[in-house]
Structure 1
Amino acid sequence: MPGLRACARLLRLVLVLLLGMAMASVIALGERLGLHASIERRQRWTCLFMKRLIGALPFEVQVVGELPQRSMLWVSNHVSWTDIPVLGMLTPLSFLSKAEVRQWPLAGWLAEKAGTLFIRRGGGDAQRLREQISEQLGQARPLLIFPEGTTTDGRALRTFHGRLLAGAIDQGTPVQPVAIQYLRNGEPDPIAPFIGDDDLVSHLMRLFGRERGEVVIHLLAPVESQGKERAALAFMAQQAIQMALFGVEDVEVAVPRRQARAA
């Protein structure tokens, strides 16, 4: 029964959140005792938490491609709040996130400790953001951004904001395009997208009340940033993701095609 299934999944999620609280308590206790964990260690802990969190969500995750072996600026299309744990479980990462996430219970605190950069919508502080991204990449810390600036229903891409990629050019850091697909019975998943005025609890209950969906993560060929204008770099990353998701270029609306499985 959908109701019992949702309750069982919700219980498992609560247990994972309790694990996150325990991890947060250890970090906080260490800080009080003057034992400050390095950002790299905190990122590893956050990655571990993300893996447990994805295990509690109703998704089967398939990864196509290879994880980069060096620090890069990851850029991805953005469909749902679940994009963060889905991608964060792959490797220790920091994120660029909207400022509201900082206020989320537990998740916001963990995100900050893992090196998340928070951006205010319409904050008008583009230069400061560029410096923060450049500093993060200059310390060889991989960072993931969603250059569309908002979520979509997964059926099309919005224009990528080139200003968010300027820090990669400053440091000569390659860009790692990532395409993320949510599928259900081989078709675009209508439940996974988190858009409009949706709230987190309602979205969770819809997810938990249905059969497991599929998430396909495409790790695409890196794009070198050296010698490129930020708009051109953003366009190249957008086109790579567009091709992976839809098999076509330069279209505003398209329906994702199911990709062939790769080992």
Structure 2
Amino acid sequence: MAWLRLTFRLTAFCLFLAATMLLASSLLAFDLLTRRQIDRTPWARRCFRWACTCLGFEVRVHGAPPERNVLYVSNHISWCDIPILGSLTPILFLSKAEVSDWPIIGWLAQQAGTLFIKRGGGRARRVRASITQKLQAGESVLVFPEGTTGFGLAVLPFHGLLLGAATDCGAPIQPVTISYRRAGRPDPLAPFVGDDAFHSHLLTLLKQPPTRVDVVFHPAVRVKPELTSSQLALQLQNTVQGGLAHIQAGALDRAGNNIIRTAGGPEPSHPR
């Protein structure tokens, strides 16, 4: 059964990649011909939905993304965080520079407007300035302040430097918690950590039954000028950690105001 599931999903995922590359190439050609750049975020959001469908994620959303542009901050468990969160709201991502070298995926990430960051050499400050420019232009940007992926059992310490982009332009910060569960427990397969290879991790996920993904949109935070970057980082970390604890305890399973969407299904509808 696992190999049959893998064959079906892998075929669908390859077709998805081919269609996405064709779309990205068409948009790039249009940019060159018209000498103006098409906004990629609506197209990227559609592609992220297709990716979630191919990967078989069962996504449950608690709360709702804000209507205005914000700086999103989230815990980071897997490369899967990006298509899941990108399928829910128009967003630009910040990613480690190594992703840009991934075959196909790296090029597609570049075409979607991903901001890549390399460690050291003062590059983080230049990326912070780029994030500020995107926020000022009305875009929403997501950063993973942990700086790396974790196993999804706890939230790692947040780094505050890039959070200053919101302070620089007066944009609110939107904390987000994401959690993967299988059979009611933290999913041991979803985390993408250490020296994991993308292709082997992808095949592992495609072989298994769907995992449940809970996404919590916490209330947006207006940055107080008296807070230091370390204090702000700790405040946001505690908020995201609180959401993770609620998910793992099953508290949100019992809540009556969940917004539920199965990947590939209809858009979430807000409860009345």
TM-score by length of 2: 0.89
User: How many Å apart are 1:18 and its aligned residue?
Assistant: 1.2
Asked if the contact 2:21–2:108 (Cα under 8 Å) also holds between the matched residues in 1, the reply is no
For structure 1, which segment, 105-114 or 72-81, has the greater mean C-alpha deviation from structure 2 after superposition? 105-114
Match among 123, 126, 137 for residue 125 of structure 1: 123
Give the paired residue count: 254
Q: In structure 2, the residue corresponding to 1:95 is in which secondary structure?
A: strand
Asked if the contact 1:20–1:106 (Cα under 8 Å) also holds between the matched residues in 2, the reply is no
Distance 1:134 1:95, change over 3 A: same
User: How many Å apart are 1:17 and its aligned residue?
Assistant: 0.6
Deviations 1:21-67 (A, max 9, x none): 111121122133134333xx211111111111111002101111011
Alpha-carbon separation, structure 2, partners of 1:113 and 1:208: 25
Match of 2:187 in 1: 189
Asked if the contact 2:49–2:83 (Cα under 8 Å) also holds between the matched residues in 1, the reply is yes
- Superposed, 1:207-226 pairs within 5 Å as 207-226=205-224
* 2:23 maps to 1:23: yes
User: How many Å apart are 1:88 and its aligned residue?
Assistant: 0.6
For structure 1, which segment, 61-70 or 231-240, has the greater mean C-alpha deviation from structure 2 after superposition? 231-240
User: How many Å apart are 1:103 and its aligned residue?
Assistant: 1.9
Match of 1:36 in 2: 36
Asked if the contact 1:172–1:226 (Cα under 8 Å) also holds between the matched residues in 2, the reply is no
For structure 1, which segment, 68-77 or 204-213, has the greater mean C-alpha deviation from structure 2 after superposition? 204-213
Asked if the contact 2:175–2:239 (Cα under 8 Å) also holds between the matched residues in 1, the reply is yes
* 2:5 maps to 1:8: no
* 2:177 maps to 1:179: yes
Match of 1:243 in 2: 242
Alpha-carbon separation, structure 2, partners of 1:127 and 1:181: 29
For structure 1, which segment, 121-130 or 146-155, has the greater mean C-alpha deviation from structure 2 after superposition? 121-130
Distance 1:89 1:123, change over 3 A: farther
Alpha-carbon separation, structure 1, partners of 2:89 and 2:27: 20
For structure 1, the 5+ residue unaligned runs are 248-254
Match among 156, 179, 188 for residue 158 of structure 1: 156
Q: In structure 1, the residue corresponding to 2:162 is in which secondary structure?
A: helix
Asked if the contact 1:179–1:241 (Cα under 8 Å) also holds between the matched residues in 2, the reply is yes
Alpha-carbon separation, structure 1, partners of 2:121 and 2:54: 35
Alpha-carbon separation, structure 2, partners of 1:10 and 1:46: 20
Match of 2:84 in 1: 86
Alpha-carbon separation, structure 1, partners of 2:188 and 2:2: 17
Distance 1:257 1:235, change over 3 A: same
Alpha-carbon separation, structure 1, partners of 2:48 and 2:8: 19
Alpha-carbon separation, structure 1, partners of 2:65 and 2:200: 33
Q: In structure 2, the residue corresponding to 1:160 is in which secondary structure?
A: coil
What amino acid sits opposite 1:160 in the alignment? F
Q: In structure 2, the residue corresponding to 1:164 is in which secondary structure?
A: coil
- Indicate the structure whose relative CO is greater, using CA pairs within 8 Å and at least 6 residues apart: 2
Match of 1:250 in 2: none
Asked if the contact 1:184–1:213 (Cα under 8 Å) also holds between the matched residues in 2, the reply is yes
For structure 2, the 5+ residue unaligned runs are 260-272
Q: In structure 2, the residue corresponding to 1:205 is in which secondary structure?
A: helix
* 2:248 maps to 1:256: yes
What amino acid sits opposite 1:154 in the alignment? G
Asked if the contact 2:125–2:162 (Cα under 8 Å) also holds between the matched residues in 1, the reply is no
